[in-house]
Amino acid sequence: MKKWRLVGGVILVFALGVLVGSVVPQVYHRYWVERFWKDPAARKTALLEKLTKELNLSEIQQKEFIPIIEETDQKLEVVRQSRRADIKRVLDDSFSRMKEKLNPVQQQMLEELRAKHEHRFGKWKSRPHLR
């Protein structure tokens, strides 16, 4: 009987370890993503706070860093937008080239696949960390 309790205890500890090991990082990541990416002002503030802490920035240096951080954030947003447009352009070209090689029934099936893809991509696009 004691042997079964020991085995059951080991299995329980293992199962709880797997559960905690898989849930805690997801919860932390979700918290971090929402905090850091959802609000651009919070993202900029967090970056300035991190740099201030890591580099021991004075108040004057912090004020000098603010426009640099803002400019960088704006440039990164342009890059994100252009990357999205480039991806869409490549996919549009690929789908149209595939469509030329298909019969009408297959073309309809391809359009349905594309609609599913765009629906899924729309969900990804709405995630804050991918904006």
> Which residues are within 8 A (CB) of 110 and not within 5 positions of it... i.e. 6 or more apart?
95, 98, 99, 102
pTM over 0.85: no
3-state secondary structure 83-121: HHHHHHHHHHHHHHHHHHCCCHHHHHHHHHHHHHHHHHH
Which tens digits make up the pLDDT trace of 70-125?
A: 999 889 888 888 888 888 888 889 888 988 888 999 989 988 888 887 777 665 55
Please state which of the ranges 26-30, 35-39, 74-78, 100-104 shows the lowest mean pLDDT.
35-39
DSSP string, the chain: -HHHHHHHHHHHHHHHHHHHHHHHHHHHHHHHHHHHHS-HHHHHHHHHHHHHHHHT--HHHHHHHHHHHHHHHHHHHHHHHHHHHHHHHHHHHHHHHHHHTS-HHHHHHHHHHHHHHHHHHHHHHTSGGG-
Task: State mean pLDDT over 32-43.
Answer: 73
Measured distance CA(44)–CA(86) in Å, rounded: 27
Q: What is the mean pLDDT of the chain?
A: 82
